[in-house]
Amino acid sequence: MSDLPRKAVTRTAKLAALPLGFAGRSAWGLGKRLGGISADLVGQELQQRTAEQLFKVLGELKGGAMKFGQALSVFESALPDELAGPYRAALTRLQEAAPPMPAGTVHSVLTEQLGEEWQECFTEFDDRPSAAASIGQVHRAVWHDGRDVAVKVQYPGAGEALVSDLTQLGRFARLLGPLVPGMDLKPLIAELHDRITEELDYSLEAEAQHAFAEEYEADEDVVVPRVVRQTDQILVSEWLEGIPLSEVIAEGSQEERDRAGQLLSRFLFSGTVRTGLLHADPHPGNFRLVTEGSAEPGNWRLGVLDFGTVDRLPDGLPPTIGEVLRMTLDGDAETAYELLREEGFVKERIELDPEAVREYLLPIVEPACVEEFTFSREWLRGQAARVADPRSPAHQLGRQLNLPPSYLLIHRVTLSTIGVLCQLGATVRMRDEMETWVPGFAPTVPEEESTDAEELPELGPESDAGEPSEAVS
């Protein structure tokens, strides 16, 4: 491949090959089965070929096609086990790699953005990309002041490619259904399309990255590289060394998986409270485990990359989320239902049984019901099956609920993060993170338990004045 394919007709033809290719392979599979070959063997080979084509097309096109593939990659944990294997390898590869943009094209962008003497900005510049994303690729370099930096270079024509890809994918989203069984792809594609402008604007990305870097400077758990230089199509940041999260998913020890999962959960919930921004692209390619010379996972920090897609929530997460989840746990179905109705999750013309809504929500809150929760592919598949089976009460009720537009991105980010936690198979203290960072979720302390310290001696003569009483501790 020599460059990013930009002509709409070329990209449309490649994307259209996905459902057509699946139809052709289905016919091939039928022929094989009629010839006496085991249906299981044929099905496995069919899925393998589909996965290989999916990666090849989405990876080559980059743009919106690759972004779509990256979004899908975090949901593979929800696929039935017999299908997950072939897709897992193909989709996960999209998180870290794609065919590179030629060095000549990279140099042309650098010349246009930094001037004819762009080489003077660097003492070293590696023409080989270290990573590729949906609208740009990253090169390692040394800034003129000696700092190791990551130079993100936007693909020429990336905007046109993004619009073209997502428009075409939206048109035949229903036909793509067999590629990822059990998923409704149309809302995902529509949401990605709505974020195109922000994704292309490196000034917005630099602003968001700066806000996170400032807030998490010297943080014990999270590290965000600082922005060094930014233009319309170039973003230079300090280099972040670390173990890609995808490597921990593939071959990490349980201790490493648990540490990565805890840090990811902490960042998901704390980021919005601390910055007023929600990092909205939580696929594994955007995270590193920063070891800083320590082999002990307990000392690792989570390195966070790529702030091109964020949700701006200056007041933090809407308190309704935490309040409804807390009431669900506490059994207050009526009040939770009224809050959902006020916020638009239940439309005015629809009447639902509050207890049925609570039962629908309870499995979603399951990770926060216990001190520690182990996320797994099996658990996620069970959740997906519960709401996807048209015969189930959960499916019928879910179809009557409404997701207000202001919650769309929050919902996708949460689901994506859960998908990554299930890929990790991590055991996480989710309840601790939610009680600390999610507004409205911490249990309310009864008034009699919040007595001022100076009033405690009046509780009775039984307390030993020389030792703190149980009430004090």
Considering the domain architecture, whether residues 169 and 63 belong to the same structural domain is answered as yes
CATH number for the domain that contains residue 285: 1.10.510.10
Considering the domain architecture, whether residues 88 and 17 belong to the same structural domain is answered as yes
Structural domain contains residue 79 = yes
Question: How much is the mean pLDDT over the chain?
Answer: 78
Is residue 372 pLDDT above 90, yes or no?
A: yes
Radius of gyration from C-alpha coordinates of the chain: 25
- Residue 473: its pLDDT value, please? 31
- Residue 391: its pLDDT value, please? 82
- List the structure tokens of 148: 């190791």
Q: Is the dihedral of CA 25, 31, 35, 40 positive or negative?
A: positive
3-state SS assignment for residue 287: strand
Give the torsion through C-alpha atoms of 405, 410, 416, 421, to 10 deg: -150
Q: What is the DSSP letter of 310?
A: E
Considering the domain architecture, whether residues 114 and 219 belong to the same structural domain is answered as yes
Structural domain contains residue 459 = no
Query: What are the tens digits of pLDDT across the range 394-427?
Result: 888 988 988 888 888 898 889 889 989 999 999 9
Measured distance CA(154)–CA(202) in Å, rounded = 9
Considering the domain architecture, whether residues 289 and 250 belong to the same structural domain is answered as yes
- Reported confidence tier of residue 469, pLDDT bands at 50, 70, 90: very low
Nearest to 262 by CA among 276, 245, 277, 250: 245
Which amino acid does the sequence have at 27? Answer: A
- Reported confidence tier of residue 338, pLDDT bands at 50, 70, 90: very high
- Reported confidence tier of residue 13, pLDDT bands at 50, 70, 90: low
Structural domain contains residue 74 = yes
Considering the domain architecture, whether residues 72 and 150 belong to the same structural domain is answered as no
Measured distance CA(376)–CA(426) in Å, rounded = 7
Considering the domain architecture, whether residues 362 and 408 belong to the same structural domain is answered as yes
Q: What is the mean pLDDT of residues 437-459?
A: 63
15 lies in which domain range? Answer: 8-96+159-196
- Residue 105: its pLDDT value, please? 92
Structural domain contains residue 179 = yes
Considering the domain architecture, whether residues 13 and 80 belong to the same structural domain is answered as yes
Structural domain contains residue 465 = no
Query: What are the tens digits of pLDDT across the range 362-371?
Result: 888 999 999 9
Which amino acid does the sequence have at 305? Answer: L
The three-point CA angle 154-179-310 to 5° equals 35
Structural domain contains residue 246 = yes
Considering the domain architecture, whether residues 290 and 147 belong to the same structural domain is answered as yes
Total structural domains within the chain: 3
Strand locations in 109-261, DSSP E? 122-132, 136-143, 148-154, 222-223, 227-230, 234-238, 243-244
- Residue 211: its pLDDT value, please? 97
Q: What is the mean pLDDT of residues 376-400?
A: 84
Q: What is the mean pLDDT of residues 359-383?
A: 91
Q: Minimum mean pLDDT among 12-26, 88-102, 227-241: which range?
A: 12-26
Q: What is the mean pLDDT of residues 277-287?
A: 91
- Reported confidence tier of residue 447, pLDDT bands at 50, 70, 90: low
Considering the domain architecture, whether residues 78 and 174 belong to the same structural domain is answered as yes
> Structure pTM?
0.76
Q: Could you identify the residue written with the tokens 């428009």? A: 167
Is residue 233 pLDDT above 90, yes or no?
A: yes
- Reported confidence tier of residue 92, pLDDT bands at 50, 70, 90: low
Q: Which residues have C-beta within 8 Å of that of residue 201, sequence separation ≥ 6?
A: none
Share of the chain above pLDDT 90, in %: 47
- List the structure tokens of 317: 């997460």
- Residue 225: its pLDDT value, please? 98
Structural domain contains residue 42 = yes
Considering the domain architecture, whether residues 166 and 270 belong to the same structural domain is answered as no
Considering the domain architecture, whether residues 281 and 308 belong to the same structural domain is answered as yes
Query: What are the tens digits of pLDDT across the range 137-163?
Result: 899 999 999 999 999 999 887 777 677
Considering the domain architecture, whether residues 68 and 137 belong to the same structural domain is answered as no
3-state SS assignment for residue 420: helix
Structural domain contains residue 460 = no
